[in-house]
Every structure is written in C-alpha cells, then in structure tokens.
Amino acid sequence: MYIAVTGSKNNKDIYIYQSFRKKDGKSSSRIYKKLGKYNTLLEQFDGDNEKLMAWAKSEAAKETDLYNERTGKVTVEFSQAACIPMNETRSFHAGYLFLQQLCTELRLDNICRVIKGRHKFKYDLHAILTDLVYASVLSPSSKLSSYNFCKTILEPPKYEIQDVYRALSVIAEESDFIQSELYKNSNFIHPRNQKILYYDCTNYYFEIEEESGLKHYGKGKENRPNPIVGMGLFMDADGIPLAFDVFPGNQNEQTTLKPLEKKIIKDFNCSEFIFCSDAGLGSANNRAFNSIGNRAYVITHSLKKMKQEDRDIALNPTQFRKAGSTDFIDIRTLDETDDEVFNSIYYKEVPVVTGDLDETLIVTYSPKYKAYQQRIRSCQIERAEMIINSPCKKRKGKNQNDPMRFVKNTAVTNDGEIAENKVYEIDEEQIAKEELYDGFYAVMTNLEGNIEEIIKINKQRLEIEENFRIMKTEFEARPVYVRRDDRIKAHFMTCYISLLLYRLLEKKIGNSYTTEQIIETLRSMKMTLLNTANGYVPSYTRTEITNSLHKTFGFRTDYEFIKKSTMRSIIKQTKEIDLP
C-alpha cells in the first residue's frame, strides 16, 4: 500500500491506495482508506509537511500489516543491487520430514538411547543413524557424500564426519537389537502380518579385486568379476521387511536360513508361520526345519530338475482341475482363445515322500503364463538370429536367459580335416525342450487344504524380489563403498531401515503410487530460503502425491510462504508424535 494526495489546491485529501491485479492480469490500484483532509491534518503537525507524510506512510504500513495478517499475505523486500551472502545455503530438502516422523513413530530415538547406555561415546547416534537413512532414500551414495547431503536438509548435522564412521561400528554391533525393536515398534504403525514369512537372498558387489572378511568371490547376481557379500532378507505377508543378515559371498545360500530364522523365532516371538522361498533355498534340510511345531512351508520346485519318471507324471496333461472345481480336466482339450480359460489356473496334486517328509507337489498350468513364456522366447530367438547373422564373436553367456542357448554350431570339415570356421544355426531341439514346460509351475508343500490359497501364498513371493530391487536400484545399495566387515553390516542396516520406512510410508498413503513416483517426489521436495529474516517458499511441484503425504502426516509444506517459526513448529511436530 502507498500514500496519495488528491484534489484541488485548497481541497486536498490524503488516501491510502492499494495495488492489485485485475482478472485480465493488468495491474491497477484502488482507494483502501481515507486518512483525512490534507489542510486539517497539516495543522495537527504544525504545518510540517514532512512529519505529516511520515505519519501517513506509517499508517499505510500498519494497514498493510493488518491486511496481510488477515489474508495470510507477507511482504518480502529484495534489492537488485545487493548480492546474496557468500557460502550461504538457500535451498533445503524437506522430503525427509515424512521419514523423520516415521522414525519417531518407530521410537528410533529410544532405541538409540538404550544403545548409548551400553557404550561409551559422546556423539549423537540417533542423529547420525537417521541422517544416514534419509540420505539412503533421498540421495544414496558414499558415507562422505551422505554427510554432505545432510548439510542441505532443514536440520544440518551438528556432528563431524569422523563420528559417522565411529557410529557404524556401534550400529553393526547392535544390529540384532535394532531389528527386533523396530519389528516390535512397527506394529504401532502397521500391525505386522507374520502368518506367512518370505525369505530370499541376494548379493552386492565391491569395486575391488582382493578377497577379505565378508568379501569373497562367488556367484554374483550381476555376473561381475568382483568380490561380493551376501544378504538374506525375511519379509512378512504384507511385503514389509522383517529381518536381515549378511554373510560371506562364497557361502552357500541354503545354510543362511536357519540362523536367521532361529533369531526371528527367539527375538521376534514368531513361532507359527508358513515359510515361503524359491527352490534354491528349499533344500530338504530347510523344509524339514520348517516342519517342526506349527510351522509349514511352500517352496517353488523346478520341474526341469526332477527325475524323468516324476517329471512325466507332473507334466501329464490329464488329472488337472480348475481352481475352485473338483472335476478333472485334460488341459489338451482347453480352448485357450476363450478369455475365461486363458485367465484361469489349473492344477494337479502329486503326493511325494522325501525321507521322513510327507509332501505334496502342486503343479499348476496357466494359459496366460504359457503365452507370456512364448512371447519372451520369441524375442530371445529373434536376438539369437541377429547374433548368428552378425560378424561379431559368438559366445554363450552364463545367464540362463542368454539367447545364445538357442544357437548351435557345427564344425566344417575340408578333406577330412576340421577347419577353423563354424556354421551357426538356431537349435530347434533346444527350443522344443523348453516348450515342454510352457505354462507349467510347481511348488512343494506340507500344507493341506485350500490349493488356491497355497498358490496365492507362492505368488506373493515376488514382492521380496521387489524389495531387493528397491534397495539396489532406488537406494543404490551397490556398489558398497565401505570395506571393514562391521561397516559393511552397518551399511546394510541403514539400507534395511530405509526399506522399512519406505514400505510403511507406502502403506500409510494407500499403495496408490509406484515406487519411482514416491521416491522421486520425496527427492524433489525442496524449500528455498528467501532470506535469513523471513522464511521459505516451496520450490517443487505440488501433485496428488504431495497432497496425500501432507494429508496423511498432518502437516503442510506447500503453502506459498512458510515463516521460519512455522517451519520450526513443523519440524518439532515430526519429532513429538503422541505414542500409545
């Protein structure tokens, strides 16, 4: 608002004018308030025009403040001639606030307080651990880079980088305690469904060449020529991580199950559940271990590795049933062009005796799955043909889906001598062998009862693969930059907590968005500090996801302007959640 004096020489009035913008976007002004007659007011200031105008301007300023207070508007002054201060950060990440509120609900501060009572250190373990988790989600990289990233959040670190490395040893030592406490506390956020537990293993590579400690050469998932370390992960029936452990890269994955499962039974008070994993982890010993007490199992089973006699029985097209029916069907008679048939699942049960175990092999057949496998193979055969016709060197890879498995070569002879040249062609026999298994899938179980439920249990196993993908791709848990075994375990501890937070956040906002959408939204949520005396403005795009986050967590960072005092209140709110 500003002051204007209007009227004739002897009949002037002093007004407060307000600037505004019309609907067409053009600027204009209007009378906001009349202060009085100029000559009358001048007499009150003993004829001093400067004092009169100073008073009028102060009245305009008061009215501006009152108007802004009523409408929520603020006035910020900038100068075209002033440079911003040297080395002053003005852009801050705010997406961590949602993760911080989850950490509070998980009582991570209490967990760190208990740990501090068992160790002698002066640094803030809670701040270090939570900052590492925030960086793992919002800007995954090395520990030094994570420390530097945390300088750009609204609450920069008050500890030093050397404290981070010291804390890693403590985090590793207390890994079991942290996991068990997080499991108990997570029930306050989302009641855990431990009726079915899924287990799987993966590995992570190091950009080094020498083996040491946990780092050993082994069969890596990415076929890299680097030492690896293995990780075993348990997940509950809702896809939320339950517990993890790390093991040497050259250790057989089958031997990793029992130690971690025993720890869950003991520390997590979980003793009655259905264990589910893939065939690689479903050895006879592991199946026997999960036949004890009130535990059971559902394990994928490889039809290709069965004995010929047993495989013939499993793949025999007769004696199948449609899920939900008791009538026997010969799947050769199915009209797979019919939508209902195409989307149905058919199964047969084959009793199996393995040592002391009485098991059931459930073989399923799905026309939809068959079409999917045929489509994938067709693309691989096309790639194989391209390789045959290309001049490049032809070499089979280690991947089971390598298209070169469909290529065979024949040595060309010349006058009884084997020449160096070879003739490459598509291996029709290999294609026919794989076609035998199209649409078929099998699981081994000791459960009795609803076959559809058993099939559903196994189908959900794919979610644990999604958890590994999130850790490796979104949280960039690979390659691992730390070298010492304790710091390696601490690194995976922070990755595990990050995954737990993400899954809980996903549940809170209703599983309505993809992982990429949620993570990218959190990473984009930045605030710009206008100047040290005022406050922040959002510098991100408001979307349905940001609306959902704000509504779910009970605070908003998407107002046009947020005063510093308001932002401090928001930060305080994320740290002081009322807990039961």
- 361 has a pLDDT exceeding 90: yes
List pLDDT tens digits, range 86-96. Answer: 888 889 999 99
* pLDDT bracket for residue 425 (50, 70, 90): confident
**What tokens does 499 get?**
């995954």
pLDDT recorded at residue 397: 61
pLDDT recorded at residue 128: 96
DSSP 243-297: EEEEEETTS-GGGGHHHHHHHHHHHS---S-EEEE-GGG--HHHHHHTTSTT-EE
pLDDT recorded at residue 398: 62
Percentage of the chain beyond pLDDT 70 is 92
- Which residue in 253, 249, 231, 276 sits closest to 468, CA to CA? 231
Q: What are the φ/ψ torsions at residue 221 (nearest 5 degrees)?
A: -65, -25
Amino acid 34 reads K
> Using a CB cutoff of 8 Å and minimum separation of 24, what contacts does 1-10 make?
1/32, 1/60, 1/61, 1/63, 1/64, 1/67, 2/60, 3/53, 3/56, 3/57, 3/60, 5/38, 7/38, 10/39
pLDDT recorded at residue 473: 78
Distance CA 459, CA 465 (A): 12
* pLDDT bracket for residue 387 (50, 70, 90): confident
Quick check: 525 and 134 in contact, CB under 8 A?
A: no
What mean pLDDT do residues 151-173 have? 94
* pLDDT bracket for residue 347 (50, 70, 90): very high
**What tokens does 280 get?**
């690689």
List pLDDT tens digits, range 219-246. Answer: 766 667 778 888 899 999 999 999 999 9
Integer angstrom CA distances of residue 222 from 203, 218, 496: 9, 11, 21
What mean pLDDT do residues 63-71 have? 72
- 419 has a pLDDT exceeding 60: no
Distance CA 541, CA 442 (A): 47
| Nearby residues of 498 by Cβ (< 8 Å), 6 or more positions away | 133, 136, 137, 471, 475
The answer to the question of residue 9 being in a domain is yes
What mean pLDDT do residues 68-90 have? 76
- The phi-psi region of residue 223 (left if phi > 0; otherwise alpha if psi is between -120 and 50; otherwise beta) is left
List pLDDT tens digits, range 530-572. Answer: 876 678 999 999 999 999 999 999 999 999 889 888 999 999 9
For the chain, report the end-to-end CA distance as a whole number of angstroms: 51
pLDDT recorded at residue 25: 72
The answer to the question of residue 93 being in a domain is no
Quick check: 241 and 496 in contact, CB under 8 A?
A: yes
The answer to the question of residue 399 being in a domain is yes
- 117 has a pLDDT exceeding 60: yes
Integer angstrom CA distances of residue 246 from 45, 197, 257, 577: 83, 18, 11, 33
**The 3-state secondary structure of 415-462, one letter per residue:** CCEEEEEEEEEECHHHHHHHHCCCCEEEEEECCCCCHHHHHHHHHCCH
User: Where is the domain boundary, 71, 88, 118?
Assistant: 71
Looking at the DSSP assignment, which residues form a beta bridge with residue 228? 205, 216
Percentage of the chain beyond pLDDT 90 is 51
pLDDT recorded at residue 409: 81
The answer to the question of residue 396 being in a domain is yes
Quick check: 262 and 234 in contact, CB under 8 A?
A: no
The answer to the question of residue 499 being in a domain is no
- 199 has a pLDDT exceeding 80: yes
**What tokens does 486 get?**
């304790």
| Nearby residues of 491 by Cβ (< 8 Å), 6 or more positions away | 168, 477, 480, 481, 482
DSSP 500-536: HHHHHHHHHTTS-S-HHHHHHHHHH-EEEE--TTSEE
**What tokens does 46 get?**
């003993």
Least confident of 411-415, 417-421, 489-493: 417-421
Residue 324: helix, strand or coil by DSSP? coil
Amino acid 477 reads A
336 CB neighbour count, 10 Å cutoff: 14
What mean pLDDT do residues 49-69 have? 83
The answer to the question of residue 27 being in a domain is yes
List pLDDT tens digits, range 124-154. Answer: 999 999 999 999 999 988 888 899 999 999 9
Using only C-alpha atoms, the chain has a radius of gyration, in whole angstroms, of 34
Range of the domain at 530: 515-575
User: Where is the domain boundary, 71, 93, 117?
Assistant: 71
14 CB neighbour count, 10 Å cutoff: 24
* pLDDT bracket for residue 417 (50, 70, 90): low
Place of tokens 């809702």: 238
Distance CA 234, CA 232 (A): 7
User: Where is the domain boundary, 381, 415, 435?
Assistant: 435
List pLDDT tens digits, range 430-471. Answer: 999 999 999 999 999 999 878 889 988 998 888 888 888 888
What mean pLDDT do residues 409-438 have? 78
- For the whole model, what pTM was predicted? 0.80
Amino acid 273 reads F
The answer to the question of residue 193 being in a domain is no
**What tokens does 334 get?**
């199915």
Distance CA 69, CA 76 (A): 14
Total of domains in the chain? 3
What mean pLDDT do residues 250-264 have? 92
Give the mean pLDDT of the chain. 88
Taking the CA of residue 353 as centre, how many other CA atoms within 13 Å lie in the half-sphere pointing to its CB?
Answer: 2
Quick check: 374 and 438 in contact, CB under 8 A?
A: yes
The answer to the question of residue 320 being in a domain is no
Quick check: 470 and 502 in contact, CB under 8 A?
A: yes
Quick check: 546 and 76 in contact, CB under 8 A?
A: no
Integer angstrom CA distances of residue 147 from 103, 107, 127, 341: 18, 23, 11, 56
Least confident of 332-341, 406-415, 538-547: 406-415
Quick check: 232 and 216 in contact, CB under 8 A?
A: no
